Amino acid sequence: MELEELKAIWEGQNDKLDAIIRLNSQALQKAKLVKADTALGRLYRSILLEVILNIGGIVLLGWFISSNLAQVRFVIPAIVLDACLIAVNAALIGQMTAIKDIDYGAPIVTIQHKVELLRIQRIETMKWTLVFCPLVWVPLLIVSFQGLFGVDVYAVFGVPYLLANFAFGLAVIPIAVWISKRFAGRVSRSPFLERAMRVIAGSELGAAMDSLAELTRFEAPASEN
């Protein structure tokens, strides 16, 4: 059997399809379509929400820094947190721009390239956020206690305790990477945890890079494949 013969059968199905497919005019009403959203639209809105929340954090940290300018021990952790939030926001705004640049009416290879690059951007942001989490919690503790309750964590817990926590945070990173590489496939009951572990382990990024390579191969002149 040749593919051309099956193509003829496939095309012959068209008349039958006309009879069995019906578009639901109610679902197509403008009101319903306005309310509905696309996957990219939902992603854009969730990133926008993150950006707004981060801007709130940046403003609060700015206020904290200006209020404690004379106390370096509070200013430095606040600057570290501020820098992290600004970096995350810059990455998120980059993602929003990338989403706006995706026009599904453009050629498939072009758009799939953009979609994969966006996916890689998302994975990179998530990876660095997860990796830095154990390190930023000490500055967060110092700033939040001072800012919210007026409690000086240095005085309450002592510098050695804080340094020990920071060192523990540093030690946690390679352990988390090792655990993620070893057990990411065994936590399928929790899709979020599984994804976080795959991101930390680098397998999510690997899969995205494979997809990008596949796209490049598809795009390249066939003789090169």
Partner 1 sequence: MSTNDAEFVRLLEDHKKILYRVVNGYCNNPSDRQDLAQDIVVQLWKAFDRFDDRKRFSTWMYRVALNVAISFYRSESRRVKSTVPVEDYVLEIAAEEPSGGRAEENLRQLERYIEQLDGLNRALMILYLDGNQYETIAEILGITVTNVATKLSRIKQRFRREFEESQTKD
The two structure tokens encoding residue 156: 């309450």
Applying CB under 8 A, among 95, 116, 125, 134 the residue interacting with partner 1 is 116
Q: How far is the CB of 91 from partner 1 (least distance, A)?
A: 16
Q: Does 16 bind partner 1 (CB under 8 A)?
A: yes
Q: Does 174 bind partner 1 (CB under 8 A)?
A: no
Query: How far apart are alpha carbons 82 and 50 in whole angstroms?
Result: 15
The two structure tokens encoding residue 172: 């946690």
Q: Does 7 bind partner 1 (CB under 8 A)?
A: yes
Applying CB under 8 A, among 45, 158, 170, 214 the residue interacting with partner 1 is 214
Applying CB under 8 A, among 61, 84, 119, 143 the residue interacting with partner 1 is 119
Greatest Cα pair distance, the chain, in angstroms, is 83
Q: In angstroms, what CA-CA distances link 118 with 99, 102, 123, 216?
A: 7, 10, 9, 16
Q: Does 2 bind partner 1 (CB under 8 A)?
A: yes
Indicate the helix (H) or strand (E) that contains 15.
Answer: helix 3-20
Binders in 177-196 for partner 1, by CB under 8 A: 191, 195
Q: For residue 220, is it left (φ>0), alpha (ψ between -120 and 50) or beta? A: beta
168 touches 129 (CB < 8 A): no
Q: Which residue ranges make up the site for partner 1 (CB under 8 A)?
A: 1-3, 5-7, 9-11, 13-14, 16-30, 32-33, 36-43, 103-112, 115-116, 119, 122, 191, 195, 211, 214-215, 218-219, 221-223
